Amino acid sequence: MHDFIIRNALIVDGSGGKPFHADLAVKDGLIAAIGNDAGPARESIEAGGLALMPGIIDNHTHYDAQITWDASASPSPALGVTTAIIGNCGFTIAPCREADRDLILKNLTQVEGMSLEVLKAGTNWGFESVPEYFAMLEQQGVALNIAGFVGHSSVRTYVMGEDAPKRAATAAEVAKMRDIVLAGVKAGAVGFATSTSPNHNGHGGIPMPSRLADEAEMKALVGCLKEAGHGVFMLTKGGQTKMAFLEELAALSGRPVVVAALLHNNTNPRSVFDDLDAISAANARGNRMLGAISCCPLTSDFPMSAPYPMEGILAWKPALGLSGEAFKTKLADPAFRKAVRDEIAKPAIFRIFNGEWDKVYVAHAARPENRKWEQHSVEDIARATGADPLDAMLDLAISEDLETEFSALLLNSDERAVGEMLRHPHSLVSLSDAGAHLTLFNDAGFGLHLLGRWVRELGVLPLETAVKKLTGDPASVFGIQGRGALKAGHAADLMLFDPATVNRGPKVRVKDLPGGGARLITPAVGVQGVWINGTRVADDKGLRKLDRLPGKVLRQFGA
């Protein structure tokens, strides 16, 4: 007798094969049978021809801190995500000594978009090492399946303390880091993650520690994966990191290298394709590399007091870490403005903001006399006032004591280009950044966006191909066994949805973080049910109240 059976579903099994109508039976958390005579079950769910696919594997999340206070990693499971990979870009909270907790949380504030107060109020510290962190998650329970990277910046902080964001490591320090990475991967991490991106800064504008690593350190740490015999190396690449060096790392470790964040940039439209071409050439030479791309346009809502899109501009550096009057004085400084203007006039490979002033809008003006600019672009304001756009934006923000809220469409907005990236043989649909940038955007529903926008509305991908990109492909890249496909014996991680309506809903701002901090979330549209290891966690009204947490901390990965 099966536990339950979903009858008359359009099975999209994650392999990329043609969908077919059948029943799917579940017993003891596993798929027991798929077919038209699956046998009797205690409960029967009528799918009425709706589509049933494996749960989405979100390979780029930042739930490392949140998962310690919110076992459901909200909002992801309601959006069809049944497995989340955490620790991307190397931003983990383990390993961490008691004395370094503030240091580690400060590293996260900027990139995660959570205040230090929220992180301090919420984070549960029941661990020091990476294996202890995984053990703690197992003990507290998780609603969805979690796999975690060993994070370079935390490893560096553990070994080098306050010096981690300041200098290159000595050979002795690299040897210590190597031991930690290897022990973490052997204890069940999914790989090793790092960032060399100038967009990644900690509290007060201090660079994330991994950005200070030299090539010898990178080679030593990525090299651990060869010894471990499994694991993926992921990095968010700064413009100075060469593809040839990353291929060298793939060759020396013999492990897949996932290169993020390949976002299309209208002001330098070929650069992502150059990277994807380099990745194709590497694969042709037998070095497995993938380009992590996003199927969502990158937008950002920001006040000038926390201008994330601007912080990746090198000439912005003198303003990083300043606040109050000192910050306003810097923003008003003509020499500062000239340097920023000169830099954004030049093309760059990985820069979030590239001077597209027609795509930066005033979302909310603080003073009544400025309300007329709401929903107008900075370019509109500049044209109307005869000012230069950078001056127009900064002057408006300064006059409102930095309370103006802007909204920018930054990257990945050219759907013809993004469609080409989605069809690239070595691209990996990724970059939801769920759990991070909480006040700026929320792409946790990227999978529903892929199915709604790219499959139904634009017809760029057939349904079965899109489903494979969300399930079978990441399962294969990350060595996640027994998931990512609808097959007898696989885990019953499932999403039941209506292909005619599936989508993510509009952004909503909610104040549900520890201590009342705000974040953006999106609801699911057209999702009828989500099951994790055979337990239904969501229905058409969203996340259910769970009396037990069905997720697993995944600690074994295929080679």
| Residue 502 to residue 47: CA distance in whole angstroms | 15
Residues 6 or more apart whose CB falls under 8 angstroms from that of 551 comprise 71, 141, 142, 143, 144, 145, 146, 532, 533
| Residue 184 to residue 377: CA distance in whole angstroms | 47
| Residue 457: CB minimum distance to Zn ion, A | 27
| Residue 501: CB minimum distance to Zn ion, A | 30
| Residue 352 to residue 296: CA distance in whole angstroms | 14
Number of C-beta neighbours around residue 170 at 10 A = 12
Apex CA 88: angle with CA 86 and CA 89, to 5°?
A: 160
| Residue 61: CB minimum distance to Zn ion, A | 8
Applying CB under 5 A, among 59, 61, 83, 88 the residue interacting with Zn ion is 88
Which residue, 81 or 89, has its beta carbon nearer to Zn ion? Answer: 89
| Residue 469: CB minimum distance to Zn ion, A | 19
Which residue, 195 or 528, has its beta carbon nearer to Zn ion? Answer: 195
CA distances from residue 234 to 97, 190, 407, 451, 547 in whole angstroms, order as listed: 25, 10, 29, 25, 35
Alpha helices (H) in 123-256, listed in sequence order: 130-140, 152-160, 171-186, 215-228, 243-253
Stretch of residues binding Zn ion (CB under 5 A), selected from 81-89, 251-259, 332-340, 408-416:
81-89
Which residue, 60 or 255, has its beta carbon nearer to Zn ion? Answer: 60
| Residue 328: CB minimum distance to Zn ion, A | 30
**66 makes contact with Zn ion (CB under 5 A):** no
Contact assessment for residue 556 and residue 145, using Cβ atoms and an 8 Å cutoff: no
**438 makes contact with Zn ion (CB under 5 A):** no
| Residue 207: CB minimum distance to Zn ion, A | 15
Which residue, 89 or 159, has its beta carbon nearer to Zn ion? Answer: 89
Applying CB under 5 A, among 89, 396, 440, 485 the residue interacting with Zn ion is 89
From 53, 51, 48, 40, select the one nearest 7 (Cα to Cα): 48
Which residue, 33 or 261, has its beta carbon nearer to Zn ion? Answer: 261
Stretch of residues binding Zn ion (CB under 5 A), selected from 68-76, 87-95, 124-132, 497-505:
87-95
Helices (H) and strands (E) counted in the chain, each on its own, are: 16, 24
**119 makes contact with Zn ion (CB under 5 A):** no
Q: What is the chain's length?
A: 559
**72 makes contact with Zn ion (CB under 5 A):** no
Q: Which residue is nearest to Zn ion (CB)?
A: 89
Terminal-residue alpha carbon distance, the chain: 35
Which residue, 89 or 190, has its beta carbon nearer to Zn ion? Answer: 89
**258 makes contact with Zn ion (CB under 5 A):** no
**86 makes contact with Zn ion (CB under 5 A):** no
Residues that bind Zn ion (CB under 5 A): 88-89
